[in-house]
Structure 1
């Protein structure tokens, strides 16, 4: 045994070196692909969610899958980029106009209405700052220069994250188009991996994954995006300050399945204070109708429904946004819901298997 010890030690050292080198290689590869994980995961989600639409469009185009995938990607990018560029151009023009007025000394704010004090939680604070700014804007800017700088910096960071998320959406759409065009090969590869890891259970969990992604993407995210966009259209038309920020808040509220009235009511109060009665009434009517649109959209898009607690979707959307910015708002909700469903499905499969096998053992 003594003469085996050196060889054992040498073998152990060699094995440790190999494992260490393999670990370094895996870690290195992960660091290389880490910037692409979020857009690729979102591309997979989009590909699975849009695949039924892709199949219908492909049949209409005579089986030309590449053309069908390209059309879906182009339309999706147009829907994302056109409003984004309009918002960016509007923001740049507004900032330039305010800057020019400040240089000329002609910029002024109207005094706040007394009803602003009645706003919940922040009414008094907003009324105080608004009154100071409307009285002497230059003195107000000098007094709160540091605070204004932080707010402007935060707004710039938010805008960068928002437009970065839009560009990442476009990248994910391009990847999703490639995946859909090669859907049969991708599905076969996923099926081999699932069966290789979990045997026959892999097929069940793969089907569960597909159903969960399609249900969450259409029934939760799709409804949330459409409803929030309809409401936000009114914000942008009327010119509500911070409409882009309110749009993101609306998305979070809608994804969490909370009533949009939580965001809309303060905005309606603001519009009644700053716009004419006719504009305010029209804005209120539009906001109420858009807020109730989920009652029509959910039966159309949700289908069979999903057995995922809304708390899971809320935590997924908030955690995803904190981790990956604007696009994480969507990726996090789907990934966490998928993880929850897979875990529950795995528990169900493992608890049913002994019951199914017990009569055979007898």
Structure 2
């Protein structure tokens, strides 16, 4: 007679699970310490491989089922597409940042009480200045000095931030080489890695499929909808600055692309002040051009192109993008621009799936009770 399987005592199962949990935590910590020195290149390799995976599947089929050749071609293509434009943009950005800061320093040095920035010539401002002088002992010269110095420091901080976000995306040469090396393997073996991860998730197959589809849709919506839209808007603002002969079009184009990710203000925080500067210089024609260009053409990209790019994909909430972009940028660097919103969207998706499962269980119990 076959003996029934022996059931482990509750105490033994507790210690076994505790040991397994502690082992996983120790191994996880050790794994993080191992990959931490090249975490940036690793995340970029995973991200780019994920975006290129649909193309890899089609290309591998054309190459008669040779995924290694497809992965090699896509890795070389990534190198050609990224390294050339990014190197040129980095050099131009650095040069224009230096020119822009020199212009600001010259403006500060040449500031006088009789130039165009003399606020005392504005009647309604005069009353406020008199109140500041009589109440807080702050005169016009001090106020102008603070404004110009704050403008200089703000501009320098923005230029540094956008430089790290867009130009410093890849990092050092060593980081780029590591990213390219890992990219080949993630493209070639990415399908098997995803399948293994799916099998390890303790969730029903239908829910796992829905979760992975939602994550893929969110990632591509973030890249094609939010990221590509911001890039196009930044290019348009840079072109407007170039046409209007304003300084540092590349710098302000990059800043506009970053501001396009914000849920309020957006690129208007760049082309709006530019129009004011043009009007203050007496260049009314170019000021009107900047307003029309920004309000119609640049805004048209956000209102028309973004829905077209996101069509058929999961839309990402404005608050999710805002918190994810800023928090992700601070936590992970340039890759955080995309990783932050995706992580938040994944957390929201997990919460929603759990709620759906609970509602389904409640509905099933209600039906069985009837």
Specify the TM-score bucket, using the shorter chain as the normaliser: 0.5 to 0.7
Does the CA contact (< 8 Å) of 1:73 and 1:173 recur in 2? no
Q: Structure 2: which 5+ residue stretches go unaligned?
A: 1-16, 130-137
- Does structure 1 conserve the Cα–Cα contact (< 8 Å) formed by 2:238 and 2:249? no
Deviations for 1:167-221, whole angstroms, at most 9, x for unmatched residues?
Answer: 2498497355542343332332333333xx3242333322222222222222222
Between the aligned partners of 2:269 and 2:324, the Cα distance in structure 1 is: 21
Match of 1:302 among 310, 328, 344: 310
> What residue is the counterpart of 2:345 in the other structure?
337
Q: TM-score, normalised by structure 2?
A: 0.66
In the superposition, the TM-score normalised over structure 1's length comes to: 0.68
Distance 2:369 2:79 in 1: 54
**Alpha-carbon distance in 2 for matches of 1:51, 1:36:** 22
Task: Give the structure 2 partner of residue 8 of structure 1.
Answer: none
Contact residue 220 and residue 255 of structure 1 kept, 8 A:
no
Alignment of 1:83-162 (within 5 A): 83-92=89-98, 108=110, 111-113=115-117, 154=157, 158=161, 161-162=164-165
CA RMSD of aligned residues (A): 4.8
1:74 aligns with 2:76: no
In structure 2, the residue matched to 1:29 is 31
Question: Which residue of the partner structure matches residue 203 of structure 2?
Answer: 198
Tell me by how many angstroms 1:269 deviates: 0.9
Post-superposition shift, 1:153? 7.7
What is the number of equivalent residue pairs in this alignment? 328
Contact preservation (8 Å) 1:230, 1:290: yes
Structure 1 unpaired stretches of 5+: 1-14, 134-139
Q: Of 317, 320, 328, which aligns to 1:320?
A: 328
Q: Using the alignment, how far apart are the partners of 1:208 and 1:310 within structure 2?
A: 17
Q: Secondary structure at the match of 1:48?
A: helix
Q: Name the structure 1 match of 2:135.
A: none
Name which of 150, 164, 169 aligns with 1:166: 169
Structure 1: distance between partners of 2:251 and 2:63: 37
**Aligned partners of 2:332, 2:192: CA distance in 1, in Å?**
29
CA distance in 2, matches of 1:219, 1:260: 16
Counterparts of 2:151 and 2:369, CA distance in 1: 74
